[in-house]
């Protein structure tokens, strides 16, 4: 992937790459979150590369780090559900019962 970023010299290449990756992810059943977050991260990454003139190694590493965040998009449905993560059972000390957090 870093080799790809080192060869990118034109605007839009990251966006095209992430759109294709997102479409493949949808076909594999991972949901639309990968496509949406991929496009957002690609636009931010394109801006970072643009500010470095598409030649800065430092900016390429930053763009790569931003694009790597796209892989966490499959976890978005778990985070965005109503209280699923905040509702983990907790035990009350000494009572032996479990309750859900509000």
The whole-angstrom separation of Cα 71 and Cα 100 is: 30
The whole-angstrom separation of Cα 71 and Cα 64 is: 12
Query: pLDDT tens for residues 28-40?
Result: 888 788 888 889 9
Q: Report the alpha-carbon angle 61-73-79, nearest 5.
A: 130
The dihedrals phi and psi of 17, each to the nearest 5 degrees, come to -60, -45
pTM score of the predicted model: 0.68
Q: Report the alpha-carbon angle 29-31-33, nearest 5.
A: 150
Query: pLDDT tens for residues 41-62?
Result: 999 999 998 998 888 889 888 9
SS3 state of residue 8: coil
């Amino acid at each position: 992937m870093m080799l790809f970023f080192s060869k990118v010299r034109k605007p839009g290449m990251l966006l095209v790459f992430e759109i294709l990756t997102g479409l493949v992810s949808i076909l594999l059943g991972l949901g639309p979150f990968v496509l949406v977050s991929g496009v957002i991260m690609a636009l931010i990454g394109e801006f970072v590369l643009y500010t470095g003139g598409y030649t800065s190694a430092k900016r390429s590493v930053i763009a790569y780090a931003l694009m790597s965040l796209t892989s966490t998009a499959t976890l978005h449905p778990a985070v965005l559900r109503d209280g699923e993560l905040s509702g983990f059972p907790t035990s009350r000390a000494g009572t032996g019962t479990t309750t859900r957090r509000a």
